[in-house]
Amino acid sequence: MSRSPRSLLDVATEALLASPGASLTEVAAAAGVSRTTLHRHYPTRHALLLAVAEHSVTRVERAYAGAGLDAAGDDAAAALRRLLTALIPLGPQLEFIHRERSLDDDHGLHARFDALDDLVTGLVRRGQDAGVLRADLPAWWLVSSLNGAVYGAWELIDLGRLAPLDAPGLLLTTLLDGIGR
């Protein structure tokens, strides 16, 4: 079965999450291609890891770009809903970025990913200024809570405990309304 490099990266992401120490041979088998075919695209395991990370960050950047995070403060909740809806299906990519320790020294990748938090922080601050979001909590905390909640939702979807279409509403309600009475 022949696959494009892009779909190889999606399969490689899932294979590497399922077995972080997977060899190129194991990743190739999961993708339904020969090791030679995989090696032609990614000559080393590190090259494959870098390609998966680049692919993952690019997909996440597209989700952020499409969410309209430059919205006015009054529209912060709607922009967050769009972001959550776009991010939840990218759970494997987000998990790979956070879990793959061999890429910790790649400051360019991490800078790209960290810049996305800056976009959300700006939206949160505008929402706080507009009185739509709580102003008594630091924006960085709200963004960290959002990131953790997205990861938690994806994990529950992966376990079959949460329906993907229910996740954005549950997440947003929990984040905006909290768990108190």
What's the fold here for domain 53-177? Tetracycline Repressor; domain 2 (1.10.357)
Q: What is the pTM of this model?
A: 0.83
Angle at 112 between CA 109 and CA 113, to 5 degrees: 90
* Residue pLDDT, tens place only, 137-180: 999 999 999 989 998 998 899 899 999 999 989 998 998 888 77
Token pair for 31: 């993708």
Token pair for 178: 């909290």
Please determine, for residue 41, whether its predicted confidence score (pLDDT) is greater than 70: yes
Please determine, for residue 1, whether its predicted confidence score (pLDDT) is greater than 50: no
* Residue pLDDT, tens place only, 69-91: 999 999 999 999 999 999 988 98
